[in-house]
Structure 1
Amino acid sequence: MMRWLVPIILYILIETYAYQAIRTITKNQWVQIGYLVLSLLILSYVIYIFANYDRSVGPTKYTLRASALLLLTLVPKLIMILFLFGEDIIRVCVAGYNYLTNTFFEGTATQYFPDRRKFISQLALGVAAIPLGGLLHGIFRGKYNFKVIRHVLYYEDLPAAFDGFRITQISDIHSGSFDDAAKIEYAVDLINEQETDLLLFTGDIVNTVAEEMDDWIDTFKRIKTPKYGKYSVLGNHDYGEYVTWNSQEEKDANFEAIKEVHTKIDFNLLLNDSTFVEKDGERIAVIGVENWGHNFKKAGDLKKASEKVAKEDFKVLLSHDPSHWEYEVKKHSDHYHLTLSGHTHGFQFGIEIPGFVRWSPVQYVYKQWAGMYDEMGRYLNVNRGFGFHAFPGRVGIWPEITVIELRKGSNGKGT
């Protein structure tokens, strides 16, 4: 319980500060009491859920709900505090001036330390309503607001037979978080509408355990197998390392079951292995590594995965974590032409207005966090993810289906 002490104290301080805005706006005691009771109920629920978190089960819909409630209450209050704190700085300065000019000794304490202004509290509440609305939209609509993102990449050394070849990428399914079958069916239809040549999935099919996919096998089995196949790799969540197992045998059994899920939905799972896609007598290599993350599990073995691939082959690499590209792939002497990753989800929170602003907190952790990147003619696409995890919503960073068209020509890209 001690580990909860500091977060609880911080929450109470935030709540106490935010409550000042409510007191300033209204003197109605029932409104004030109602606000405090609601805040207390939410805090109690969140504490109860996380205090009873079962590491043998892992994340559940209850923990997702608790995290949503926590964010819905904390984020707007933090916005309010910024305004109130700014006003308090002014109030302290005025109080200091009054003290130095002796007005404190001539009047009342109220004259010495100015009251909060109702207008500032109203402004703080109004501005705080914006992120609250965004979070609510993200929870009820945004998490299933699937977008098809298209890129055209040009390579001088692309085999001529593959000029115009289309690849569809999906990533980070996280089936254990789904709560709307109709929306997932719609997303599968959207994938099928792309009429792609090759379909690639870049890991994290579950949150924790293989059973999370049991109710979704038939749905994902509906994804059409393109002419040149469906291939996949594992992500960090597919190794069952975020729960406590009764035995190593139980953990190993879950891992085997997760690998079998890929077969059940007609994907060819590449475990540090490669295959060739052949067309009109020419070929490109599809290489799949197990998870390799700078701060996560390093099961990926690029050398082993590329044993059957010649240096001059055109290469498409599947690697779940984009940090792999940054630390090992992009400057590799074997020249991996296109790397497909996921993992970051774009933090499921951010702002993306093409040509104007592109920001997410995850950019302070990952140099490549969403979209297409290139260096020296080597490209990396970081898919924003199909599903969601930890927070049951998406704000400004929408679930993504990526379609990449390969073209033969001078190095360049288009979207």
Structure 2
Amino acid sequence: LDVYVEGLPPAFEGYKAAQMTDTHIGPYFRYTDLPGEIDRARSEGAQVLFFTGDLIDDIRHMPEAADTLKEKYPAFPDGIYYVWGNHEYYRGKDYIEKELLKTPVKILVNDHDAITKDGESLYVAGVDYPWSRGRAMEIEMDSMTDEAFRGIPKGAPVVLLAHHSAFLDEGFRKGAAITLTGHTHGTQFGLFGRPIITPFTYTRGLYSDGKNVGYVSRGDASWFPFRFSCPRELVIITFHRK
């Protein structure tokens, strides 16, 4: 993806980031597959890795996954950022967090950080997974996003990281340069590269409100062993000044 950002500092022209999501480490994407996928991101020139949830299902291999993240972390000059998905909660978030905290990976829970170059910053905001439904979910997501953006200078370029694709609306509301999500797997089925059913407002690919953009990744893997017209993907974002 080439993303054109109003107000992007000159130091970030051509800056590359990678998004990984929904690896669901288990029977179909093994912990031994993780190093190669991360290496692909670095080989594309990514200086930072954004992981938007659902890392693992078979948590017996969480120590090995954490060791891989720790080993590969120095390959990215600006580090690795992580936000929670729903499967972390299903499989044992406390244990997964305990293992991740042994690594330098930066977990963002309704919070933000800044990548700084030449005294100028690109902000990274990350939100938790919402569990409410209907209008209550909208209120929950509003609250999470507002908390994550609190303290970011007005008009500063921001990358918003979330697992649930509904956060694209929050990114548009807050003026995030790009919102990166996963969760949907692109539905894993489609025809002619498009989903057959769309149970989500934002299902796969690039969306825009006319000014800012959001992207829903099909995911680096899946928990279900079949895809049709919906291949897995590693997302590389190149930032440009508008």
Q: TM-score range by the shorter chain?
A: 0.7 to 0.9
1:311 is aligned to 2:154: yes
Residues 323, 303 of structure 1: alpha-carbon distance in 2 compared, 3 angstrom cutoff:
same
Partner of 1:152: 2
- Alpha-carbon distance between aligned partners in 1 of 2:218 and 2:25, rounded to the nearest angstrom: 15
Partner of 2:121: 283
1:371 is aligned to 2:214: no
What are the superposed Cα offsets for residues 23-52 of structure 1, whole Å, 9 maximum, x if unpaired?
Answer: xxxxxxxxxxxxxxxxxxxxxxxxxxxxxx
Partner of 1:345: 185
1:400 is aligned to 2:233: yes
SS of the aligned residue for 2:234 comes to strand
SS of the aligned residue for 2:183 comes to coil
Partner of 1:269: 107
Q: Is the 8 A contact 2:20 2:52 kept in 1?
A: yes
What are the superposed Cα offsets for residues 95-151 of structure 1, whole Å, 9 maximum, x if unpaired?
Answer: xxxxxxxxxxxxxxxxxxxxxxxxxxxxxxxxxxxxxxxxxxxxxxxxxxxxxxxx1
Partner of 1:205: 55
Q: Is the 8 A contact 1:277 1:286 kept in 2?
A: yes
**Aligned residue runs from structure 1 range 208-227, under 5 A:** 210-225=59-74, 226-227=76-77
What are the superposed Cα offsets for residues 163-207 of structure 1, whole Å, 9 maximum, x if unpaired?
Answer: 111111101121133465654443233123122121110011223
Q: Is the 8 A contact 2:110 2:147 kept in 1?
A: yes
Partner of 2:218: 384
Give RMSD over aligned pairs: 2.5
2:195 corresponds, among 344, 357, 360, to 360
Residues 229, 183 of structure 1: alpha-carbon distance in 2 compared, 3 angstrom cutoff:
closer
Detail structure 1 runs of 4+ shifted over 6 Å in the superposition.
none
TM-score, scaled to structure 1: 0.52
Partner of 2:175: 335
- Alpha-carbon distance between aligned partners in 1 of 2:50 and 2:29, rounded to the nearest angstrom: 24
Residues 282, 181 of structure 1: alpha-carbon distance in 2 compared, 3 angstrom cutoff:
closer
- Name whichever structure is richer in strand by fraction: 2
Give identity over the alignment, percent. 28
2:46 corresponds, among 192, 196, 199, to 196
Cα displacement (A) at 1:263: 3.1
Residues 183, 284 of structure 1: alpha-carbon distance in 2 compared, 3 angstrom cutoff:
closer
Residues 222, 194 of structure 1: alpha-carbon distance in 2 compared, 3 angstrom cutoff:
farther
2:26 corresponds, among 176, 184, 191, to 176
Residues 213, 394 of structure 1: alpha-carbon distance in 2 compared, 3 angstrom cutoff:
farther
Partner of 2:12: 162
- Alpha-carbon distance between aligned partners in 2 of 1:291 and 1:158, rounded to the nearest angstrom: 28
- Alpha-carbon distance between aligned partners in 1 of 2:68 and 2:150, rounded to the nearest angstrom: 35
Residues 319, 185 of structure 1: alpha-carbon distance in 2 compared, 3 angstrom cutoff:
closer
**Aligned residue runs from structure 1 range 56-135, under 5 A:** none
Larger Rg: 1
- Alpha-carbon distance between aligned partners in 1 of 2:77 and 2:39, rounded to the nearest angstrom: 17
AA aligned to 1:234 is W
AA aligned to 2:226 is G
Residues 185, 197 of structure 1: alpha-carbon distance in 2 compared, 3 angstrom cutoff:
closer
Cα displacement (A) at 1:224: 4.0
SS of the aligned residue for 1:257 comes to helix
- Alpha-carbon distance between aligned partners in 2 of 1:179 and 1:406, rounded to the nearest angstrom: 30
List alignment gaps of at least 5 residues for structure 1. Answer: 1-150, 244-253, 352-356, 410-415
Q: Is the 8 A contact 1:294 1:324 kept in 2?
A: no
- Alpha-carbon distance between aligned partners in 1 of 2:240 and 2:20, rounded to the nearest angstrom: 21
Q: How many residues align?
A: 236
AA aligned to 2:3 is L
Partner of 1:117: none
Cα displacement (A) at 1:261: 3.2
1:258 is aligned to 2:101: no
What are the superposed Cα offsets for residues 232-288 of structure 1, whole Å, 9 maximum, x if unpaired?
Answer: 100111112xx7xxxxxxxxxx32222233334532100111011111111111000
Q: Which range moved further: 263-272 or 316-325?
A: 263-272
Q: Is the 8 A contact 1:293 1:323 kept in 2?
A: no
TM-score, scaled to structure 2: 0.86
